[in-house]
């Protein structure tokens, strides 16, 4: 993806700054335009102003939880169609069911996926060819 | 024949003593009643009979009877014989009531000491009789009437011989029985000693579950001071599932006449501590069906369990703590690999590092899942599951990976699938492992995901590939921990060796079964049979009819 065409925008909502830094670096390396928010309130603001194609959303955050952010985004006409992938440390089936019922497109558990897996899901959801298959020793 | 030892079952000496006393009383009464009053010998005979009364009375005094000098049966025999002979000398003739005692002496010595005893007594009597006839101050039996004396003695001997022969078999049988009973009691002693020296608690129960026999450890375990005779085991040893200290005590006998082993039960003591037990229940049939008893062996595995728990906890914590740094490591490496114009050497090194970071991450993931599966404290969440939908979703999830390898994924779902009440993510985890293995070890052909009704309302899932196949040798160990097939070709693919072990553990948690069928170089099929409802716990989790019908409505 070259600099001249408009980049696909991704909003990264994550309060762990180290992890957020990594995701940001990775997404930018893959050619996305990334904006990062560390809490739910700012995420709502950014979802409107930045108009991303996809939001990578944490659940446990200060101020406003990811569930609330998800609920509000889905009720607001302007943000209703943004793709939302929840990436959380919560792994209980009930949490997953709740997020799905609130309208999350996918739910990934932090302890079960690697950054590469997250990126693969993003590409699938955005209908993009995958940048590079995960290296395998075959 | 040697002097018999004191037998436990029949105290022969005491019985012999009693019989002799009774005969003696009879003879004494007959003598008093029949002896003429006006003969020269009357006074002597009455005096001797009086002595006999005193002697017989003395045989009732235990200290006298048991004294070494007078108490032995031989001494008694000798005294009785001398008495009778003295009588005979005084009254001149054998044809008296007193010869009854003489006959009795011979018979009883035959009974008591066998042939040799009988011969000895008869010969002694004959000798003494003849001698006394010659020495008596009163005119004895006329010596010229010797023929009748010898005839009488021979008659007595014949009686003795007759009795001895008649009772020979009986005596032999008794001695055989005695040997047997001694052996049995020795055996019993040995067994009891063995049972008591064991470190395991042992209970022998009757058909109603009451304690018939228990060893010291068993008594210690129950905390009872008195022997546990005929108390119901469930009363002295209330066993409850380890995870449920408040639950109703479990009846370990209810499971039926099959031998069983339970490792999930504990004994909760009053101070709140629990003793974890490994319990074996073995039914023992004695003869007919009804006559059943149970042998219950309990081993204290508290320490073992606590070590097991510590180990599991360590693995769980360690793998969880490893997770974050590994995620960051993988992210950094894979991002670095995206850099344009990397030196080829650097690309190789980074890819190598990345590959191993991914491997470590999947290992910690498997370990975490395993720790969760083995943790009995996490309750199993049951929910209705639609097998068809589950399989379809799985196929969709794996389509990108399958496309990459150019392997078509086929889904076959039988009509009329029974619904399941179980834990969906456990089943998905097992099937994911199956499918990802199938993809890993198959280079051409196709992969088939199947769901069909199984036995007794269960659902049989299967994943079939056309891959490498697994040798019979490897098949047997496939589901064990850290096992990877010996086939060199599998070494070329990455794998932690935990996947199928995890499948087995998850299946156990759901009371499901996992197994595989495979032909080398033709492909493998992995099966998962899930019961219609996974029981929460072995004893209390029975799903009611109402729950099942409401589940059917929901689907």
DSSP string, B447-471: EEEEEEE-GGG-EEEEEE--SS---
Q: What is the pLDDT of residue B67?
A: 72
Mean pLDDT, residues A96-105 taken together: 90
Determine whether the interchain pair B335/A25 forms a contact, defined as Cβ–Cβ distance below 8 Å: yes
B8 and chain A in contact, CB less than 8 A: no
Residue B214, beta-bridge partner list: B203
Test mutation, A96, A108, A111, chain B, max B CBs within 10 A: A111
Residues A32/A8, Cβ–Cβ less than 8 Å? yes
- CA distances (Å), B518 to each of B31, B182, B470, B555, in order? 102, 60, 6, 35
Q: Write the CB contacts of A91 (distance below 8 Å, at least 6 apart in sequence).
A: A109, A111, A112
* Burial environment of residue B235 by CB neighbours within 10 A (0 to 12, 13 to 18, 19 or more): middle
* Burial environment of residue B250 by CB neighbours within 10 A (0 to 12, 13 to 18, 19 or more): buried
* Backbone phi and psi for residue B368, each to the nearest 5 degrees, phi listed first: -65, -45
Q: What is the pLDDT of residue B444?
A: 86
CA distance B220 to chain A (A): 44
- Cα A62 to Cα A41: distance, rounded to the nearest angstrom: 9
Q: Is the pLDDT of residue A60 over 90?
A: no
Give CA torsion, residues B492, B494, B498, B499, to 10 deg: -100
Q: What is the pLDDT of residue B543?
A: 43
Q: What is the pLDDT of residue B537?
A: 42
Q: What pLDDT band is residue A57 in, cutting at 50, 70 and 90?
A: very high
Residues B106/B118, Cβ–Cβ less than 8 Å? yes
Rg (CA), chain A: 14
From edge to edge, which strands make up the β-sheet containing A9-13?
A: A33-37, A9-13, A54-57, A83-88, A106-109
Q: What is the pLDDT of residue B455?
A: 81
Determine whether the interchain pair B338/A132 forms a contact, defined as Cβ–Cβ distance below 8 Å: yes
Quote the tokens at residue A128. 């993009």
Residues in chain B within 8 Å Cβ distance of A107: none
Quote the tokens at residue A84. 């939302």
Q: What is the pLDDT of residue A34?
A: 93
Q: What pLDDT band is residue A4 in, cutting at 50, 70 and 90?
A: very low
Task: Report the relative pairing of strands B201-205 and B211-214 from DSSP bridges.
Answer: antiparallel
CA distance A28 to chain B (A): 10
Q: What is the pLDDT of residue B220?
A: 83
Determine whether the interchain pair B334/A111 forms a contact, defined as Cβ–Cβ distance below 8 Å: no
Q: What is the DSSP letter of A110?
A: G
Q: What is the pLDDT of residue B91?
A: 67
Q: What is the pLDDT of residue B60?
A: 86
Using 70 as the pLDDT threshold, list the residues of chain B that sit under it: 1-12, 68-71, 89, 91-101, 129, 132-153, 254-257, 286-290, 375-381, 481-496, 534-555
Q: What is the DSSP letter of B135?
A: H
Q: What is the DSSP letter of B144?
A: G
Q: Is residue B288 classed as helix, strand or coil in its secondary structure?
A: coil
- CA distances (Å), B178 to each of B34, B174, B185, B372, in order? 43, 6, 10, 63
Question: Is the pTM here over 0.90, yes or no?
Answer: no
CB contact burial B283-319 (16+ within 10 A = b; e otherwise): beeeeeeeebbbebbbbbbeeebeeeeeebeebbeeb
* Burial environment of residue B278 by CB neighbours within 10 A (0 to 12, 13 to 18, 19 or more): middle
Cβ count near A15 (within 10 Å): 15
Test mutation, A94, A115, A131, chain B, max B CBs within 10 A: A115
ipTM above 0.85, yes or no: no
Closest alpha carbon to B338 in A47, A96, A100, A130: A130
A102-111, A125-134, B1-10 — which is least confidently predicted? B1-10
Closest alpha carbon to B430 in B484, B480, B369, B471: B369
Determine whether the interchain pair A93/B368 forms a contact, defined as Cβ–Cβ distance below 8 Å: no
Determine whether the interchain pair A26/B355 forms a contact, defined as Cβ–Cβ distance below 8 Å: no
Between A104 and B535, the higher pLDDT residue? A104
Determine whether the interchain pair B492/A136 forms a contact, defined as Cβ–Cβ distance below 8 Å: no
Query: Alpha carbon A48 to chain centroid distance?
Result: 15
Q: What is the pLDDT of residue B527?
A: 92
B422-448 pLDDT, tens per residue?
878 788 888 988 998 888 888 888 889
Closest alpha carbon to B457 in B433, B431, B422: B422
- Cα B65 to Cα B13: distance, rounded to the nearest angstrom: 11
Residues in chain B within 8 Å Cβ distance of A130: 400
Q: What is the pLDDT of residue A81?
A: 87
Q: What is the pLDDT of residue B49?
A: 87
Which residues of A fall below an 8 Å CB-CB distance to B? 18-19, 22-23, 25-26, 29-30, 93, 110-112, 114-116, 120, 124, 130-138
């Amino acid at each position: 993806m070259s600099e001249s065409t408009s980049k696909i925008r991704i909003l990264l909502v994550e309060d762990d700054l180290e992890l957020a830094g990594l995701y940001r670096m990775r997404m930018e390396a893959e050619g996305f335009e990334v904006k990062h928010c560390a809490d739910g309130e700012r995420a709502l603001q950014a979802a409107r102003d930045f108009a991303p194609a996809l939001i990578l959303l944490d659940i446990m955050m200060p101020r406003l939880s990811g569930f609330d952010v998800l609920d509000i985004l889905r009720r607001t006409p302007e943000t209703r169609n943004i793709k939302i992938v929840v990436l959380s440390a919560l792994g209980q089936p009930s949490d997953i069911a709740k997020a799905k019922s609130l309208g999350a497109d996918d739910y990934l558990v932090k302890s079960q996926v690697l950054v590469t897996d997250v990126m693969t899901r993003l590409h699938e959801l955005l209908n993009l060819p995958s940048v590079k298959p995960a290296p395998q020793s075959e | 024949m040697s002097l018999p030892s004191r037998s436990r079952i029949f105290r022969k000496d005491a019985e012999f003593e009693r019989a002799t006393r009774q005969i003696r009383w009879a003879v004494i009464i007959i003598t008093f009643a029949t002896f003429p009053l006006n003969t020269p010998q009357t006074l002597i005979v009455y005096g001797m009979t009086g002595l006999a009364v005193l002697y017989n009375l003395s045989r009732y005094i235990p200290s006298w009877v048991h004294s070494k000098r007078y108490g032995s049966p031989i001494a008694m025999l000798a005294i009785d014989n001398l008495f009778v002979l003295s009588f005979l000398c005084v009254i001149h003739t054998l044809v008296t009531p007193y010869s009854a005692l003489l006959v009795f002496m011979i018979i009883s010595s035959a009974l008591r000491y066998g042939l040799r005893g009988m011969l000895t007594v008869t010969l002694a009597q004959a000798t003494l009789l003849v001698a006394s006839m010659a020495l008596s101050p009163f005119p004895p039996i006329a010596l010229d009437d010797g023929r009748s004396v010898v005839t009488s003695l021979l008659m007595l001997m014949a009686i003795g011989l007759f009795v001895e022969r008649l009772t020979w078999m009986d005596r032999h049988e008794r001695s055989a029985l005695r040997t047997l009973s001694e052996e049995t009691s020795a055996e019993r002693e040995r067994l009891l000693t063995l049972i008591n020296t064991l470190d395991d608690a042992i209970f022998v129960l009757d058909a109603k579950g009451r304690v018939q026999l228990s060893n010291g450890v068993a008594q210690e375990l129950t905390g009872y001071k008195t022997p546990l005779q005929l108390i119901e085991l469930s009363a002295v040893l209330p066993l409850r599932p380890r995870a449920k200290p408040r639950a109703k005590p479990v009846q370990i006998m209810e499971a039926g006449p099959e031998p069983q082993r339970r490792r999930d039960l504990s004994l909760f003591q009053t101070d709140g501590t629990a003793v974890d037990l490994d319990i074996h229940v073995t039914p023992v049939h004695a003869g007919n069906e009804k006559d059943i008893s149970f042998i219950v062996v309990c081993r204290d595995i508290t320490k073992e369990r606590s070590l097991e728990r510590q180990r599991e906890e360590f693995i769980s914590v360690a793998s969880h703590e490893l997770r974050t740094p590994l995620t960051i490591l993988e992210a950094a490496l894979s991002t670095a690999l995206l850099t344009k114009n990397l030196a080829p050497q650097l690309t190789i090194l980074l890819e190598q590092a990345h590959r191993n970071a991914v491997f470590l991450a999947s290992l910690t993931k498997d370990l975490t899942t395993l720790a969760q599966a083995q943790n009995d404290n996490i309750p199993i969440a049951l929910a209705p599951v639609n097998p068809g939908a589950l399989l379809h979703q799985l196929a969709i999830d794996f389509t990108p990976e399958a496309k990459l390898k150019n392997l078509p994924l086929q889904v076959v779902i039988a009509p009329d699938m029974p619904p399941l009440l179980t834990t969906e993510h456990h089943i998905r985890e097992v099937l994911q492992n199956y499918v990802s293995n199938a993809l890993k070890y198959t280079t051409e052909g196709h992969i088939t995901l199947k769901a069909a009704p199984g036995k007794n309302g269960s659902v049989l899932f299967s994943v079939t590939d056309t891959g490498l196949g697994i040798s019979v040798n490897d098949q047997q160990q496939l589901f064990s921990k850290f096992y990877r097939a010996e086939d060199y070709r599998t070494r070329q693919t990455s794998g932690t060796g935990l996947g199928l072990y995890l499948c087995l553990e998850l299946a156990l948690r759901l009371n499901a079964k996992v197994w595989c069928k495979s032909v080398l170089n033709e492909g493998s099929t992995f099966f998962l049979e899930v019961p219609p409802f996974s029981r929460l716990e072995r004893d209390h989790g029975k799903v009611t009819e109402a729950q099942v019908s409401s589940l059917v409505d929901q689907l």
